[in-house]
Structure 1
Amino acid sequence: IGVPKTLLRLSSNDRYAVVEMAMRRSGEIAELTHIANPTIGLITNVGTAHIGRLGSVEAIAEAKCELLAEMSSNSIAILNYDNRRLMETAAKFWSGETFTYGLQGGDLQGKLIDSQTINVAGVDLPLPLPGLHNASNYLAALAVFKVIHAQSISTKNLFQPLINNLSIELPEGRAKRYNLDNDIVILDETYNAGLESMIAALNLLVETPGKRHVAVLGTMKELGDKSVLFHQQVGNVVRDLKIDGLFILADFEEAQAMAIGAAGLQFIEVENISSNDVHQKLATHLQEFLQPGDRVLFKASHSVELNKVVEIVINK
């Protein structure tokens, strides 16, 4: 019901509306497209989220591209050039006007200078949020901005005012950073998790300067028969990034798979997710482990409620 609620809040004073469309099965994006009738259709990514419900990455791509199949032929599609699966699938559904963006190519191409800065059209812009994945998302927003103002101003002049850093407001559990005593930094990504976002968050963790890097990870939900494999892959990434400590709060098979994937780390602790007061126990164990200068990432699907552990740690 999110799309209708958003549309019903619009008034004659609004010139633009950004309408997010979510789906968990095929046909839902098509229905939402009929309701919203967008003039611009943006697809940022095709990954593995909800693969347990749709069955394959191919099916996920096709479900997302329902937006293109159902929107008006005089609309404009904006697509992530860097996502090959998306580009190949979109071509099957859309032959209308298209504008692409990316870090590897596209009509609007950005170059990541560092984790905090991206160069677009010769202009160095501060990223509203750090990290490679957030740079891609920022490029998507800039692409929409460019399409809307395509005829009225040059790209360089269009982006020049954005040199002054943007301020953004995010819901709890999304890209939240807490600076605690003893130079301990918490990166709170507890709102949700999938394979791609988990890997992106882990890379952001190791890019955050600090004494040690610690990951507190939980179950990624709705992965179906890929669940054990994907959790082991996350463990592999933790190992390859040489994370200094790993705490796991996940369903039994997924926790075991993640621990196996991370085998070789100096510190791995698996919490019993079914035990009483597990969030308090995890917080206590983590607090005993932490040292001044540590950087700590929390990430899991929302139902794991890792946010409870974050609240305990930041309010101790």
Structure 2
Amino acid sequence: GAVLVLAERPVAGPDGVNYPAVLVEDAVLAMGALAAEALRRIRLARAAAGHALTVVGITGSAGKTTTKDLLAGILTQQGTTVAPQGSYNGEVGVPLTVFRADTQTRYLVIEMGATGIGHIRYLADMVKPDIGVVLGIGTAHAGEFGGVENIAQAKGELLESLAANGTAVINLDDDRVAAMRSRTGAAVLGFSAEERSGATVRAVNPDTNAQGNPEFELVLPDGETGLHVNSRLIGAHHIGNLLAAAAAAWAAGVPGTDIAASLSTQSAASRWRMERTERADGVTIINDAYNANPESMRAALRTLADLGRGRRTWAVLGAMLELGPDSIREHTAVGTQVVRLNISRLVVVGREARALYVSAVQEGSWGDECVFAETADDAYALLNAELEPGDLVLFKSSNSVGLRHLGDRIALPPQTTEPADEGSELL
């Protein structure tokens, strides 16, 4: 148990005794200050012993956790590595990750999220990364930020924090990220899956196999050849995440052969991110409902269409939250995309996603193939009754909508009777 409490007021235990406490005005800020000091001491101790500590910060509108997991998987094979559990990426999660490091830590990977300008700068000042990775700028949290340009401004704070001897890893396939090279004095390492000019980390001949796994020849700045990546992740959109992890690992000094080998053996380390389950009756579930924004929703639907050739495909979709005034427009666009990708069945769950349903109905001639479900339980009943062997089902929504739990329920063997009311609270 805890021996000391960091608190904003005296804390009494169940027995009424006040436990030892450090009282502060703001416990969250105090956590950050404590993490910064702990990391400073670790750096000094390792330097005194002749050892380095490499800190990598990762940010972007989508793909942070996947890239973090991939990079941690590479670095773990090179030395003791600490990385966030799940998506610990905020003003509490980052200190908690730092607190797991010690003088034996060789690599520290930090995922950085934000909901406003200044948040990334605060986290970067705390951990002082040697390598900063910016993945892409999308519309996630656009409502909170006040627009995509403000998101770009915030994400670029990571690059501004880098020292001159650091490395900025940037996605040249995203024009807003590519423009950030002027915001750092560090060396710039650009990656691209689209043969963009200036990219020194590239995917040559990118493709996906019949299972939807990305494949490509990896090109690194030193020109090493024969680096084939055959990923176990699902979806072409992961090529950018694979390249980002490769670039950061190369900047950290990892040999190219080790990078390619690790990327080819890693499966998804965090749940509900293109998580594939094969039911015994032949139904395939892809649960990508940890979170959703318009960019990741479009990527997941393209993957569903690619994998579903010759099969009946289902898109079970919930709301994309925190889009502000763009919400109706973005949900409408997704509904249109579902029709144009020829998805067989669409199930829209929850009132906040109704614009998606309406646009799909207006765009196509669905009949009973397009359904609006008020609750997750309603959707469960429909799916449980109508799924057939060979069907491919995608679940996608923002985290708080909770469709990942519906996906878990459907991944279980089909039920012959209605289950207990365990999911109605999800929407």
Q: Which residue of 1 aligns with 2:41?
A: none
1:102-133 CA-to-partner distances (Å, cap 9, x unmatched) read 11131111031324212213432111312121
What does 1:67-146 align with in structure 2 at a 5 Å threshold?
67-88=158-179, 90-104=180-194, 105=196, 106-111=199-204, 112-114=206-208, 115-116=212-213, 117-121=215-219, 122-146=226-250
- Considering Cα pairs closer than 8 Å and 6+ residues apart, tell me whether 1 or 2 has the greater RCO: 1
Matched, 1:13 2:104: yes
Alpha-carbon distance in 2 for matches of 1:4, 1:236: 42
Q: For 1:19, what is the secondary structure of its paired residue?
A: strand
The amino acid across from 1:251 in the alignment is: R
SS of residue in 2 equivalent to 1:183: coil
Deviates more, 1:193-202 or 1:115-124: 115-124
Amino acid in the other structure paired with 2:396:
K
- 1:271 equivalent to 2:373? Answer yes
Output the CA distance in 2 between the equivalents of 1:204 and 1:162: 23
Between structure 1 and structure 2, the one with the greater Rg is: 2
Partner residue, 2:281: 182
Q: TM-score, normalised by structure 2?
A: 0.68
Amino acid at match of 1:119: E
Q: Which amino acid aligns with 2:187?
A: E
- CA–CA distance in structure 2, aligned partners of residues 49 and 58 of structure 1: 12
2:320 maps to amino acid: M
- Tell me the residue number matched to 1:275: none
Question: Could you tell me how far 1:265 is from its partner in structure 2?
Answer: 4.7
* Equivalent residue in structure 1 for 2:113, among 17, 22, 41: 22
Q: Aligned partners of 1:308, 1:21: CA distance in 2, in Å?
A: 25
Which residue in the other structure is 1:290 paired with? 387
Q: Does 1:203 align with 2:294?
A: no
In 1, are the aligned partners of 2:162 and 2:186 still within 8 Å (CA)?
A: no
Report the alpha carbon displacement of residue 57 of structure 1 after superposing the two structures with TM: 1.1
Matches within 5 A, 1:28-39: 28-39=119-130
Distance (whole Å) between structure 2 residues aligned to residue 31 and residue 160 of structure 1:
33
Comparing 302-311 with 259-268, greater Cα deviation is found at 259-268
Distance 1:226 1:93 in 2: 28
Letter in 1 for 2:186: G
Q: Tell me how many residue pairs correspond in the alignment.
A: 304
Residues 71-128 of structure 1: CA deviation (Å, up to 9, x unaligned): 323211000110111111x134224310011111311110313242122134321113
Per-residue deviation, residues 42-89 of structure 1 (Å, max 9, x unmatched): 01111110000112111100100011122323211000110111111x
Where do residues 277-316 of structure 1 align in structure 2 (5 Å cutoff)?
278-315=375-412, 316=414
Which of 232, 243, 256 is the matching residue for 2:343?
A: 243
* CA 1:177–1:84: 2 relative to 1, 3 Å: same
Match of 2:143 in 1: 52
Matching of residue 226 in structure 1 with residue 314 in structure 2: no
Pairwise CA RMSD: 1.8
- Give, in whole Å, the separation in 1 of the partners of 2:379 and 2:408: 12
Paired AA for residue 108 in structure 1 = V
Number of the residue aligned with 1:194: 293
Cα distance between partner residues in 2 of 1:265 and 1:74: 58
Paired position in structure 2 for 1:66:
157
Segments of 5+ residues of structure 1 without an aligned counterpart are 273-277
Report the identity percentage.
30
CA contact (8 A) 1:298 1:306 kept: yes
SS in 2 for 1:205: helix
Cα offset for 1:280?
A: 1.9
Per-residue deviation, 1:159: 4.4
Contact kept, 8 Å, 2:124 with 2:161, in 1: the verdict is yes
Tell me the distance in 1 between the aligned counterparts of 2:357 and 2:329: 9
- In structure 1, the residue matched to 2:18 is none
2:384 partner SS: helix
Tell me the distance in 2 between the aligned counterparts of 1:33 and 1:265. 51
Q: Which runs of 5+ in 2 are unaligned?
A: 1-91, 220-225, 415-427
Pick closer, same or farther for the CA change 1:67–1:159 going to 2, 3 Å: closer
For 1:71 and 1:228, the matched residues in 2 are separated by: 38
Residues 218 and 260 of structure 2 are in contact (CA less than 8 Å); yes or no, is this contact kept in structure 1? no
* Distance (Å, rounded) in 1 between the aligned partners of 2:411 and 2:207: 32
Counterpart of 2:252 in structure 1 is: 148
TM-score w.r.t. length of structure 1: 0.90
Match of 1:216 in 2: 316
